[in-house]
Structure 1
Amino acid sequence: MIDVVEHEPGCPLDRFGGWLEDAGAKVRVLRPYAGDAVPSTPGDGLIVLGGQVDAYADDAAPWLPAVRVLLRAAAADGTPTLGICLGAQLLAVACGGTVDVGAAPGREAGVVDVHWRPEAAGDPLLGGLADPFPGPSMHADAVAELPPGAVWLGSSAMYPHQAFRVGAAAWGVQFHPEVSEPTFAGWAAELGDVDAAPVLRELAGRDADVVAAGRELATRFARIVEAAGADRR
């Protein structure tokens, strides 16, 4: 079972849910904003989704300390973990990195070309994926410093830390491989600093590539979780 931490209704598992199911994985969505408890120890796998709060906003989202504890535990024990956008930022902070809230380059919105670094070539999750990887993005905060010992895997023209790995199997990606056009449109409509029409046209025009890349990433993650569970048994 993959535990999925959802921080708000507007940032769901979205397309990933079907792709993981197609790959044979089962998921349990935890909604701490609605009262679900955040476990203290990880299960077979963990996905932490995005959200509009920042990685330090414990007053606005009082479950964040528990999520950081869970991410730190998952990274330490090798539980397959994927942090997406805010989830990646929480993973970085949990493991000793830092996040720049309202980073100086400004909001990165649209479908971003993520280029893999040489270190990604042998990575079990990201190695061999499309390069550039079409990563839908809608963020203004960014990982400033990676955790000690983290492996830097991917960057974009605007923000360097687009993908990284902590330990053997905890990945953070700043982009949104899971997002659908309706969800993306909702984000664009809510943000006053986003010109919605061009970013939505960009996603629509590149959506076939976004789907192919996102599905492959989700399928690989499901297989990594399955293999890790078999090893533990």
Structure 2
Amino acid sequence: MGDVLIVQNSRSGGPSRVGDWLAEAGLELDVVLAHEGAPLPARLEHDAMIMLGGGYLPGEDDKAPWLRDARRLAGQALREGVPFFGICLGGQLLAEVAGGEVTGDVGAPENGSLPVTIRPEAAGDPLFHGLPQVVPAVEHHKDAITRLPEGAVHLAETARCPFQAFRVGERAWGVQFHPEVLPARIRGWRADGFDPDEVYARAVADEPVSTPIWHEVTTRFAALITERASSKGRSGARGHGSAAGVAAARPSS
């Protein structure tokens, strides 16, 4: 068993099927409705963190003041090797925290289910290895990562937006697309220049292909979380009753 901090940044932007898949894997979900003013923890004591999407740039603290705390927790996850998965805004936030660059309203916007190319570098990645060369994923963004952090592993791309997926270190991933989104949610999106019926129909047609792929990626991430939780439990058991054991079971500051 392990627990996952999930930061929600908009009313409609919940964890959806990714949350369901994590729960099916036996994980406990702590969904913080940050957009409603729910506070983020002072420290990341969870076994993993997921940062969802939202209509902000990762540094727009004036519009979304909780982003400051989200960046702090993401930085802690990077330093301490806590599994992290950032979706859309969450992926951009990871890139920025790790030293990359995010630019607002850049390039051509992407909306709906689009083909994402998995790069050769993904062959050795814990989450993205063995995926088909091209996979469909739901997009909804006009802001984008324009420079990856130094040392990041570039995992996936599209023609319009090159940085679709990447890994920082061993346990932190960012994606520009939305593996959690089902076609029904697309109906509620407004995107200038796109035919909503066409976008919806394409997502419905792609779902039988995309669903098992993103389920597999989520299941692999869940396994990393469970592994971390088990490791923490073993450390705590070995040091039960001692100050050394308590220190080993908790992340260092």
Bin of the TM-score, shorter chain as denominator length: over 0.9
Give the aligned partner of residue 207 of structure 1: 207
Give the alignment partner of residue 48 of structure 2, picking from 33, 41, 45.
45
Asked if the contact 1:20/1:222 (under 8 Å) is kept, the reply is: yes
Matched, 1:102 2:126: no
Give the aligned partner of residue 219 of structure 1: 219
Asked if the contact 1:41/1:74 (under 8 Å) is kept, the reply is: no
- How do 1:3-152 residues align onto structure 2 when only pairs under 5 Å count? 3-42=5-44, 43-104=46-107, 106-152=108-154
Cα displacement (A) at 1:40? 3.4
Residue-by-residue CA offset, 1:157-177 (whole Å, 9 max, x unaligned): 211101111111000011111
* Residues in 1 aligned to 2:207 and 2:11: alpha-carbon distance in whole angstroms: 22
RMSD value, Cα? 1.3
Cα displacement (A) at 1:12? 1.0
Cα displacement (A) at 1:152? 1.1
* Residues in 2 aligned to 1:153 and 1:192: alpha-carbon distance in whole angstroms: 29
* Residues in 1 aligned to 2:47 and 2:180: alpha-carbon distance in whole angstroms: 20
* Residues in 2 aligned to 1:131 and 1:232: alpha-carbon distance in whole angstroms: 36
TM-score by length of 2: 0.87
Asked if the contact 2:119/2:133 (under 8 Å) is kept, the reply is: no
Asked if the contact 1:40/1:69 (under 8 Å) is kept, the reply is: no
Give the share of equivalent positions with the same residue, in percent: 39
Q: Which amino acid aligns with 2:103?
A: D
Which structure: larger Rg?
2
SS in structure 2 at match of 1:79: coil
Cα displacement (A) at 1:232? 2.6
Task: Name stretches of at least 5 consecutive residues in structure 2 with no aligned partner.
Answer: 234-253
Cα displacement (A) at 1:82? 0.4
Q: Which amino acid aligns with 2:25?
A: A
SS in structure 2 at match of 1:52: coil
SS in structure 2 at match of 1:229: helix
Task: Name stretches of at least 5 consecutive residues in structure 1 with no aligned partner.
Answer: none
Q: Which amino acid aligns with 2:62?
A: D
Pick 1 or 2: higher relative contact order, CA cutoff 8 A, min separation 6. Answer: 1
Residue-by-residue CA offset, 1:51-83 (whole Å, 9 max, x unaligned): 112222111101111111111110121111100
Asked if the contact 1:114/1:134 (under 8 Å) is kept, the reply is: yes
Q: Which amino acid aligns with 1:35?
A: G
* Residues in 1 aligned to 2:30 and 2:186: alpha-carbon distance in whole angstroms: 23
TM-score by length of 1: 0.94
Residue-by-residue CA offset, 1:177-218 (whole Å, 9 max, x unaligned): 11012212212xx33343211111100111111211121111
Which range is displaced more, 210-219 or 196-205? Answer: 210-219
* Residues in 2 aligned to 1:35 and 1:204: alpha-carbon distance in whole angstroms: 34
Asked if the contact 1:38/1:66 (under 8 Å) is kept, the reply is: yes
Cα displacement (A) at 1:44? 0.1
